[in-house]
Amino acid sequence: MSSMTLSRAINSGLRRALEDDPKVLLMGEDIGTLGGVFRVTDGLQKDFGAHRVMDTPLAEAGIIGTAVGLAYRGYRPVCEIQFDGFIYPGFDQIITQVAKLHYRTGGAVKMPLTIRVPFGGGIGAVEHHSESPEAYFAHTAGLRVVSCSNPQDAHTMIRQAVACDDPVMFFEPKRRYWTKGEVDEEITGQTPSIDSAAIVAAGDDVTLVTYGPLVATARDAAIAASDEGVSVEVIDLRSLSPIDFATVEASVRKTGRLVVTHEASQFGGIGAEIAASITRRCFYYLEAAPERVTGFDVPYPAAELEDHHLPDLDRMLDAVDRVMDRHNSLSGREG
Amino acid sequence: MNFSNETLKELYRLMVSVRHVDQAAVSWQRQGLLPAYAPELGQEAAQVGSGYVVDTSRDFVFPTYREMGVARAMGVDMVEYMSTHKATWHGGMYNPVETRLAPIQAVVGGSVLHAVGWAHGARLNGPDDDGTYPVAMTYFGDGASSQGDVHEAMNFAAVMAAPVVFFVQNNGWAISVPTERQVAGGSVAARAAGYGMESVQVDGDDVVAVAEATSRAFEHARAGKGPMVVEAMTYRRGPHSTSDDPGRYRTLDQERDDAGEDPVTRLRKRLEADGVADEPFFTRAVEDAKAEAEQIRAGIEALGSRPGSEMFEYVFQESTPALHEQARQWREESEHV
């Protein structure tokens, strides 16, 4: 075990992946000598060579499309998209080719791509640098979509993603890149499975489901709620497609109350999918209608406004109050 | 480059086969056997001449949706190829790994980058025992050349010095829009210079010229000299697809004037003039092609539908619980089991 930042944990996971399999290649913009704009690939080109850690021309469709061709040849490309808002030029290749080639070829051609995307807000960035586009990909059959929330998961999950024969969209919570934690780098195999959710705080009254950057906020919310006598169970989804509904269902059957929170906009989002599916699975166990705490249905606002947009501890607690049918703990308004 | 008389005769047999199967496929669509088909009438020389050059023991080809002639020249099973037009399974049912032909796909320019990646992988693997590289060839048209992916592919390929042949079939029309309103400057090959890439524009209706130009491009790429563009100037004599109506955007007189001499007739005249082949050979080529088309038809009729359960297979390596549940529900509702 050693203590490292989330960013470093991904770096060490990529290093292990490069060591473990000569077919693993890293490609992206500025990932070589610079080490990526977030330094996630720092030092890897120096140690593994420019043929395995490749600076590409500045074109996202080019990166993804070229990776597809490499996958035809048995390579396992790991593509870095520099920022969430720059993935759209590569969107067509991801949706029409990466997601469908295994299906189109009746299983003859595998697409073991990992597409790394630093995502989410909270770092005071300019436009197109704070977005949460994960639902677009979760909506597309053939893509696995995951997000890590802590250094250990970042390390374990990136290695599992690279080893996975399906294409994996790997969303990295950029505002948590500098979060430190203990990391065991001697993991082997697939435990816990990359598509399993984790209960990160146990509780009995409310199930609070989230992923990526908001897991830390949700844990803080659970601590704050417990000061008021409300016991909140926090679930880190880890995988957004497929979703580990069994874990969420078991929790909601126990608590009877569900709150889902994510930075991404509400309409047609991950929260809607969870609310609908869990309502169907747990209808007779529910004490209240599921609540969503999300970014608003607006374009991601300028940095001076982003604190209004991003779900925070207070908004999560408000939703907890509503599903508990309690007076709002701040305003005193009825739930 | 000199092609032997046997090679010339083989090219002719292939072109006649492609011509007959192509025209038969249009009939099959009219008869209701195929829901849709993208004819390639007039492009036989471009497709056979280039596809013939591919070494299927080491090269790889990335087609679009109008490359039946390429597939035929590469020896792909025509029933498995036609299965995509039969709407049996997207992409065709041939195995891309074994045939060296990527699945048919309908996003114009969508697979051009894949060829670059494949070829870059060839460079990473190092040359074959003979010191040369396997080559990826990608097909696209004048319409697709407008796509940003094609620019990105050419730039990536040139930067990486990847052994790619960009084979452009400039057939004059992107559905209803003529080349002059599609390709600024009039030539896709001319763009290559901007990427520091070699290129050649060739008479795409002369199968020998196409085969020679493609061979030279392959030699260039095999030698590790990087990518090359071959632009075959040809003419789409038929509709864009069996749903298209060219009468809305060009007249029959225009078609006659612009199409030039039929590529199959051209090769026949050459073989006659050079004394390479005689009437019995030509007659036999047509008879063989007709028999082949009949065999393909029988194969398509025998295809049958894939079981509905296959909808749920191949989405992932292993089905997910949610997908498994949808498949179970489908089976229950559709088959009452």
In this model, does residue B197 exceed pLDDT 80? yes
CA A161/CA A21 separation, integer angstroms: 13
Min distance A88 CA to chain B CA atoms (Å): 13
Nearest CB neighbour to B117, from listed A67, A110, A142: A67
Q: What is the pLDDT of residues B11-32, one digit of tens each?
A: 999 999 999 999 999 999 999 9
Last residue of a domain, one of A183, A217, A251: A183
**Does residue B120 sit in the same domain as residue B147?**
yes
In this model, does residue B43 exceed pLDDT 80? yes
Q: Which residue of B has its CA nearest to A273?
A: B322
**What is the predicted ipTM?**
0.96
**Does residue B139 sit in the same domain as residue B46?**
yes
State whether A242 and B323 contact (CB < 8 Å). Answer: yes
The reported pLDDT for the residue numbered B337 is 60
Q: What is the pLDDT of residues A230-258, one digit of tens each?
A: 999 999 999 999 999 999 999 999 999 99
**Does residue A33 sit in the same domain as residue A157?**
yes
Nearest CB neighbour to A141, from listed B105, B111, B315: B315
**Does residue A202 sit in the same domain as residue A65?**
no
Q: Which positions of B are annotated as active-site residues?
A: 236, 240, 249
In this model, does residue A329 exceed pLDDT 90? no
In this model, does residue A2 exceed pLDDT 80? yes
Nearest CB neighbour to A104, from listed B91, B95, B113: B91
Domain hosting residue B244, numbered range: 5-305
Residue A124 lies in a domain: yes
Question: Considering A129, A155, A262, A309, which one is annotated as catalytic?
Answer: A129
Q: Tokens 């047509």 — which residue?
A: B286
Q: What is the mean pLDDT of residues B274-278?
A: 96
- Reported as a pLDDT band with limits 50, 70 and 90, residue A261 is very high
**Does residue B323 sit in the same domain as residue B267?**
no
The reported pLDDT for the residue numbered A254 is 98
Nearest CB neighbour to A106, from listed B89, B107, B111: B89
Please report residues of A whose CB lies closer than 8 A to that of B156: 56-57, 59, 62, 66
**Does residue B248 sit in the same domain as residue B267?**
yes
Min distance B172 CA to chain A CA atoms (Å): 26
**Does residue B92 sit in the same domain as residue B32?**
yes
State whether A62 and B153 contact (CB < 8 Å). Answer: yes
Residue A190 lies in a domain: no
Residue A6 lies in a domain: yes
Domain hosting residue A265, numbered range: 198-323
The mean pLDDT of chain A is 96
Residue A177 lies in a domain: yes
Residue B169 pairs in a beta bridge with: B141, B232
**Does residue A247 sit in the same domain as residue A148?**
no
**Does residue B263 sit in the same domain as residue B323?**
no
Q: Which residue of A has its CA nearest to B61?
A: A69
Of B15, B6, B69, give the one whose Cα is nearest residue B262: B15
The reported pLDDT for the residue numbered B91 is 96
Taking residue A335's Cβ as centre, other Cβ atoms within 10 Å add up to: 14
Residue A188 lies in a domain: no
Please report residues of A whose CB lies closer than 8 A to that of B111: 97
**Does residue B178 sit in the same domain as residue B91?**
yes
Rg (Cα) of chain B, in Å, rounded? 21
**Does residue A102 sit in the same domain as residue A179?**
yes
**Does residue A244 sit in the same domain as residue A123?**
no
Distances (CA, A) of B190 to B46, B166, B168, B186: 19, 13, 12, 8
- Reported as a pLDDT band with limits 50, 70 and 90, residue A189 is confident
Min distance A142 CA to chain B CA atoms (Å): 5
**Does residue B212 sit in the same domain as residue B182?**
yes
Last residue of a domain, one of A160, A183, A206: A183
CA A17/CA A161 separation, integer angstroms: 10
Q: What is the pLDDT of residues B324-337, one digit of tens each?
A: 999 999 999 987 66
The reported pLDDT for the residue numbered B1 is 64
**Does residue B222 sit in the same domain as residue B312?**
no
At A266, phi and psi to the nearest 5?
-80, -45
Q: Tokens 């069996």 — which residue?
A: B242
The mean pLDDT of chain B is 96
- Here the tokens at position A35 are 């080490």
Number of domains in chain A: 2
**Does residue B244 sit in the same domain as residue B335?**
no
**Does residue A70 sit in the same domain as residue A41?**
yes
**Does residue A79 sit in the same domain as residue A135?**
yes
Domain containing residue A221: CATH number: 3.40.50.920
Residue A77 lies in a domain: yes
State whether A93 and B110 contact (CB < 8 Å). Answer: yes
Of B8, B4, B12, give the one whose Cα is nearest residue B264: B12
Please report residues of A whose CB lies closer than 8 A to that of B105: 96-97, 104
Q: Which residue of B has its CA nearest to A27?
A: B117
Min distance A106 CA to chain B CA atoms (Å): 6
Nearest CB neighbour to B118, from listed A64, A73, A246: A73
Backbone conformation region of residue A299, classed left if phi is above 0, alpha if psi is from -120 to 50, else beta: beta
Domain containing residue B88: CATH number: 3.40.50.970
- Reported as a pLDDT band with limits 50, 70 and 90, residue A331 is confident
Burial class of residue B185 (count of CB atoms within 10 Å of its CB; 0-12, 13-18, 19+): exposed
**Does residue A107 sit in the same domain as residue A255?**
no
CA B267/CA B274 separation, integer angstroms: 11
CA B197/CA B308 separation, integer angstroms: 47
Please report residues of A whose CB lies closer than 8 A to that of B153: 62, 65
The reported pLDDT for the residue numbered A334 is 65
Residue A77 pairs in a beta bridge with: A25
In this model, does residue A292 exceed pLDDT 90? yes
- Here the tokens at position B180 are 């002059």
Please report residues of A whose CB lies closer than 8 A to that of B155: 57, 59, 62
Please report residues of B whose CB lies closer than 8 A to that of A110: 317
The reported pLDDT for the residue numbered A312 is 98
Q: What is the mean pLDDT of residues A114-142?
A: 98
Min distance B47 CA to chain A CA atoms (Å): 22
Least confident span in A23-27, A195-199, A263-267, B320-324: B320-324
At B252, phi and psi to the nearest 5?
-65, -35
The reported pLDDT for the residue numbered A328 is 75
Min distance B73 CA to chain A CA atoms (Å): 21
**Does residue A217 sit in the same domain as residue A278?**
yes
The reported pLDDT for the residue numbered A190 is 74
| Strands (E) located in B117-209 | 136-141, 164-170, 173-174, 177-178, 198-203
- If interface means Cβ-Cβ distance under 8 Å, which residues of chain B face chain A? 60, 62, 89-91, 93, 95-97, 102-103, 105, 107, 110-122, 124-125, 136, 148-149, 152-153, 155-156, 159, 313-317, 320-323
State whether B120 and A70 contact (CB < 8 Å). Answer: yes
Number of domains in chain B: 2
State whether B314 and A72 contact (CB < 8 Å). Answer: no
Q: What is the pLDDT of residues B116-134, one digit of tens each?
A: 999 999 999 999 999 999 9
**Mutation target among B316, B318, B319, B325 for the A interface, most CBs of A within 10 A:** B316
The reported pLDDT for the residue numbered A4 is 98
Helices A313-324 and A214-227 pack at an angle, to 10 degrees, of 50
- Chain centroid to Cα B161, Å, comes to 24
The reported pLDDT for the residue numbered A68 is 98
Taking residue B294's Cβ as centre, other Cβ atoms within 10 Å add up to: 12
Q: Which residue of A has its CA nearest to B321?
A: A242
Residue A49 lies in a domain: yes
The reported pLDDT for the residue numbered B327 is 94
Q: What is the pLDDT of residues B228-265, one digit of tens each?
A: 999 999 999 999 999 999 999 999 999 999 999 999 99
- Reported as a pLDDT band with limits 50, 70 and 90, residue B288 is very high
The predicted model scores a pTM of 0.97
**Does residue A127 sit in the same domain as residue A216?**
no
State whether A245 and B149 contact (CB < 8 Å). Answer: no
Name the residue type at position B198.
Answer: E
**Does residue A90 sit in the same domain as residue A140?**
yes
**Does residue A222 sit in the same domain as residue A141?**
no
**Does residue B254 sit in the same domain as residue B237?**
yes
Residue A329 lies in a domain: no
Burial class of residue A305 (count of CB atoms within 10 Å of its CB; 0-12, 13-18, 19+): exposed
Please report residues of B whose CB lies closer than 8 A to that of A93: 110, 113, 149
**Does residue B72 sit in the same domain as residue B210?**
yes
The reported pLDDT for the residue numbered B310 is 92
